[in-house]
Amino acid sequence: MCLDIFAVTALAAALAEGKSNEEIVYLGTVFTQLGDTLATIASGNDLCENRGQDDMEL
């Protein structure tokens, strides 16, 4: 777990290097959206599996 924290911190520092604050904020929002979208997909997959369905029906 700690290794993940250090790896993410190192990646963030590398991505931020040479970027303006505006660019860093933009990258942050893009990766936040990516994380949120992955969480939504995983949640939908779990919901479908629990219902025994291939396609999610609300």
pLDDT confidence band for 51 (50 / 70 / 90): confident
pTM of the model: 0.71
pLDDT digits (tens, 9 = 90+) for 2-36: 779 999 999 999 999 999 999 999 999 999 999 99
Domain boundaries, the chain: 2-51
Angle (CA) 24-41-51 rounded to 5° is 165
Q: Contact, 28 vs 36, CB < 8 A? A: no
Q: What is the dihedral of CA 17, 22, 24, 30, to 10 degrees?
A: -150
* Pairwise CA distance, residues 43 & 38, whole Å: 9
What is the enclosing helix (H) or strand (E) of 13?
helix 2-16
* Pairwise CA distance, residues 27 & 15, whole Å: 8
pLDDT of residue 7: 94
